[in-house]
Structure 1
Amino acid sequence: MRLRLAGIAFLGLLALTAAACGSGGSEKQPPAAGPVTITMWTRAATQAQSERLVKAYNSNHKNQVKLTVIPTDNYQPRIAAAAGAKQLPDVFAADVIFVPNYTSQGLFMDITDKVGALPYKDSLAPSHMKLGTLDGKFYTLPHTLDLSVWFWNKDLYAKAGLDPEKGPKTLKEFAQQATTIQQKLGKDGKVHGTFFGGNCGGCYVFTFWPSVWAAGGQVMNPEGTTSLNDQPAMTEVFKTYRDLYEKKVTGPTAKEEQGPTWTGFFPKGEIGVMPMPSTTLGTMPADMKIGVTPIAGPDGGESTFVGGDSIGISSTSKNADAAWEFLSWTVSDEAQVEVMAKNKDVLARTDLSSNKYSAADPRVVLINSLVAKGQTPFALRFGQTFNDPQGPWLRLAREAVFGDASKIPQLNAEITKSLQQ
């Protein structure tokens, strides 16, 4: 997942957009006389996938898409400013976590009828569709997806005496295998059993929460207003990672890792097993033997954090029909298979998880199959609470893993307070 590593205060966004776009509807426009060029914005984090889709669409459609890529850290302020000035592009993508903020402020057009007419509407990534729904109406489609999974290095497993074809099926096995790697291969200080972003709020939610979901637990109530991060399912996950850190299985820099480099150690062959973004599979060294398995709970189960971007038509677009033509094409068989699957990207449709490209790599089929099993948490104040380096979640996670775990109840109450502000 392209993680937001700094919190975004939505107060400015809310102030700018509260009256900018009305109810999210759009005036009906007469059909264009000729081909239309629509404008599209995306953040840099999903640039590669967006560019591939736009290029393929433009190559065989009369209507065209003009794509603008905006630096990820500047994206939300740009959306806020454009909304306030009623100058949003025809379509724009957004980190799925923040889609509820945009829908609640009327930035996206209601596309309920259009989505309902899609023959594969029930196969669209469920967690993305859930966060793009408001009051029973659809406002967005899945655009790009990134899932959290466990990678293991088969060569290191073999050298440590572990079966290189059997990755962990439970969080307990994960810890055992990581510990074995450390004990057998970690004496020179170059190889470590596992690694995680210990000073990165977004990294924790992306990699720890799936173990809670796999165990049947939750981290928040459905409304995203009450934190459940003091419950046994979460505290057991924290305890597992705390034990690994105290045994020096995680490597010396895990405690201070703020996010930018947390995925950089595994490709170097230095880590035995660790949670990773699924999108990094295609960027791994060609000669590296990597196993992929779902993130599990302490005693089993499987889940994933379904991240990535959703996309919708802006409520101020004057080219709604042309915009929908493009959006609906991006989730078509052609785009999903010949553009996304061909490049080993996670598909936005569960009915296409096994296709002619993914069939060549069982790991890709597995990753695609997790789209239907994973979750994307809902909270209107997600950024301030969980991604902000100064927010209460990071303080709780660090105390739980590195500090005084007795503070968890107090800090959990602070998370709830933040969610309810």
Structure 2
Amino acid sequence: MAACGSAAQEPSAAGPTTITMWTRAATQAQSERLVEAYNKSHTNQVKLTVIPTDNYQPRIAAAAGAKQLPDVFAADVIFVPNYTSQGLFADISDRVAALPFKDALAPSHMKLGTYEGRQYTLPHTLDLSVWFWNKDLYEKAGLDPEKGPATLKEFAEQATTVQEKLGADGKVHGTFFGGNCGGCYVFTFWPSVWAAGGTVMNAEGTESTVAASPMTDVFSIYRGLYDNGVTGPTTKEEQGPTWTGFFPKGEIGVMPMPSTTLGSMPADMKIGVAPIAGPDGGESTFVGGDSVGISSTSQNVDAAWEFLAWTVSDEAQVEIMAKNKDVVARTDLADNKYSAEDPRVVLINSLVGKGQTPYALKFGETFNDPQGPWLRFAREALFGDASKLPELNETLNQSLTQ
């Protein structure tokens, strides 16, 4: 790193430095806004390459093997531990420590960007899971449109009421979830476990705890909704690509949704937002999104850091992220001049410090892979034989430690 640091100073003496950056398509909009604003206001420049999300991990692996990584690259926060443990990111611990707002950076992202006591990444984009409810459907169903669920049991009761009062024609449904999507379960069900004070894994990410309460309680409530016909008809088959597409059409009463979809909802749709709760209360969220770091092979470390530090500055976080209703990466900026215009955004921002991002080196193959053990586990819990869960939990443990 010392060699990289000294090499990075040479281009600045000769003139502006252009650094390269990669990001996945899932965060294209936010990345492009940040890069465009930075390039307009700085002498150094950033050349951004957006790669299809499904191709991103293989592309990173190939570039790392060939030692051709860009100066800066972002990654789904859940996969950051894999990259740090493989030495793909440069150590930025001292630089991060010098930031005056270091303690306000999104804690879950910072935790997953830490490896053996050293810091390697900063938060890039944040996507939180929350409950959305359709106020017009609530009013038509006789529910208070200004009062969303405060517990998972209330969530189930309100969804059931919408179904019973408005679902006769088959166009409106009480709720919906991605029943054949491992990542959807993780993003939307796990926060209810955390809100109840429970865990899904041990701290090392090597042992699953989902075969016990409160995870089994959460599954039981959702299974009841499915068995009673409260969920949309394609819930069991939903593999992920379209799971967020039904709520914006006004077809769903209440459901867990990504916070980033709030800004893209129909302008005339009246939407309430609530934290995801446990069966009897509490609140939490899955803090997803991307982290970003400097590649360990970069020869432009100083210029790369100038850009990264700017992306978490007041200017970038408020005037670019918050202005576009994106979740800010700093807890001290949760209530800013743009979020203050919409109490729902203030609420979403406030959850950054209360949510979690689970840590496991084998997360992808265990929980995200459609052929992995988690999806089978979840589908047995929701649609099959729940007595198999202890046995299936062992397959999760094997996957996490293989």
The normalised TM-score by structure 2 is: 0.98
- Equivalent of 2:6, from 17, 25, 28? 28
TM-fit CA distance, 1:24: 11
In 2, distance between residues paired with 1:318 and 1:231?
49
Q: Give the aligned partner of residue 266 of structure 1.
A: 247
Q: Give distance in 1, aligned partners of 2:97 and 2:213.
A: 40
Q: Residue 259 of structure 2 is aligned with which of 244, 264, 278?
A: 278
Q: What residue number does 1:11 align with?
A: none
Residue 304 (structure 2) aligns with: 323
Contact preservation (8 Å) 1:267, 1:284? yes
Find out whether 1:314 has 2:273 as its counterpart. Answer: no
Residue identity matched to 1:184: K
Specify the SS of the correspondent of 1:166.
Answer: coil
* Mapping for residues 78-93 of structure 1, pairs under 5 Å: 78-93=59-74
How far the C-alpha of 1:25 sits from its partner, in A, is 8.2
1:301 equivalenced with 2:279 (yes/no): no
* Shift in Å, 1:135: 1.0
Contact 1:350–1:368 (Cα < 8 Å) also in 2:
yes
**Unaligned runs of at least 5 residues, structure 2:** none
Q: Distance in 2 between matches of 1:102 and 1:55?
A: 27
1:413 aligns with 2:367: no
The equivalent of 2:359 in structure 1 is: 378
The letter of the residue matching 1:34 is G
**Residues 314-336 of structure 1: CA distance to partner in whole angstroms, max 9, x if unpaired?**
00000000000000000000000
- Aligned residue pairs total 399
Task: Return structure 1 stretches of 4+ with deviation > 6 angstroms.
Answer: none
CA deviation string 1:338-379 (max 9, x = no partner): 000000000000000000000000000000000000000000
| Structure-2 separation of matches of 1:390 and 1:240 | 25
Shift of 1:245: 0.2
- SS of residue in 2 equivalent to 1:73: helix
**1:217 corresponds to which letter in structure 2?**
G
SS of 2:10's partner is: coil
Seq. identity, %: 82
Asked if structure 2 preserves the Cα contact closer than 8 Å seen for 1:90 and 1:323, the reply is yes
Indicate if the aligned counterparts of 1:209 and 1:234 stay in contact, CA closer than 8 A.
yes
Q: 1:354-373 maps to which residues of 2 (within 5 A)?
A: 354-373=335-354
Instruction: Kindly report which structure 2 residues correspond to 1:238-277, keeping only aligned pairs within 5 A, or say none.
Output: 238-277=219-258
Deviation at 1:251, TM superposition (A): 1.5
The CA distance in 2 between the partners of 1:364 and 1:54, in whole Å, is 24
Letter in 2 for 1:395: R
3-state SS in 1 of match to 2:6: coil
Relative to 1, partners in 2 of residues 1:24 and 1:311: Cα closer, same or farther, differing over 3 Å? Answer: farther
1:47 counterpart residue number: 28
Letter paired with 2:18 = T
Q: 2: CA distance between counterparts of 1:140 and 1:390?
A: 30
Kept after mapping to 1: 8 A contact 2:77/2:109: yes
Q: Any unmatched runs of 5+ in structure 1?
A: 1-22
Please, what is the CA RMSD of the aligned residues?
1.0
Tell me by how many angstroms 1:259 deviates: 0.3
The answer to whether the Cα contact below 8 Å between 1:167 and 1:292 also exists between their aligned partners in 2 is yes
Give 1:26 deviation, angstroms: 3.9
Separation in 2, partners of 1:384, 1:414: 12
Return the alpha-carbon distance in structure 2 between the equivalents of residues 260 and 113 of structure 1: 40
Amino acid at match of 2:351: L
Measured in 1, the distance between the counterparts of 2:2 and 2:137 equals: 53
1:106-185 to structure 2, matched below 5 A, reads 106-185=87-166
Alpha-carbon separation, structure 2, partners of 1:130 and 1:418 = 22
Give yes or no for the alignment of 1:105 onto 2:86: yes
Distance across 2 between alignment mates of 1:110 and 1:89: 16
* Residue equivalent to 2:379: 398
Structure 1: which amino acid aligns with 2:10?
A: P
2:316 paired residue number: 335
> Take 1:130 and 1:251, find their aligned partners in 2: how far apart are those partners?
36
1:403/1:114 CA distance change after superposition, 3 Å: same
2:170 to 181, 184, 189: 189
Q: 1: CA distance between counterparts of 2:5 and 2:247?
A: 51
Query: Cα offset for 1:31?
Result: 2.9
Aligned to 1:236: 217
Q: 1:27 to 1:329 in 2, by over 3 A?
A: closer
Where 1:232 maps in the other structure, the secondary structure is coil
What secondary structure does 2:60 align onto?
A: helix
Does the aligned pair in 2 maintain the 1:125–1:372 contact within 8 Å? Answer: yes
The question of whether the paired residues in 1 share the 8 Å contact of 2:5 and 2:300 is answered with: no
CA shift, 1:212, in A, is 0.1
Which residue does the alignment assign to 1:13? none
| 1:223-245, Cα deviation, whole Å (9 max, x unpaired) | 00000011110000000000000
Contact 2:23 2:51 in 1 (8 A): yes
In 2, the alpha carbon distance for the partners of 1:79 and 1:114 equals: 24
Residue from 380, 385, 388 that aligns with 2:369: 388
Give, in whole Å, the separation in 2 of the partners of 1:353 and 1:241.
31
CA distance in 2 between counterparts of 1:357 and 1:280 reads 17
User: Per-residue deviation at 1:27?
Assistant: 6.0
Deviations 1:274-330 (A, max 9, x none): 000000000000000000000000000000000000000000000000000000000
The residue type paired with residue 356 of structure 2 is Q
Match of residue 287 from structure 1: 268
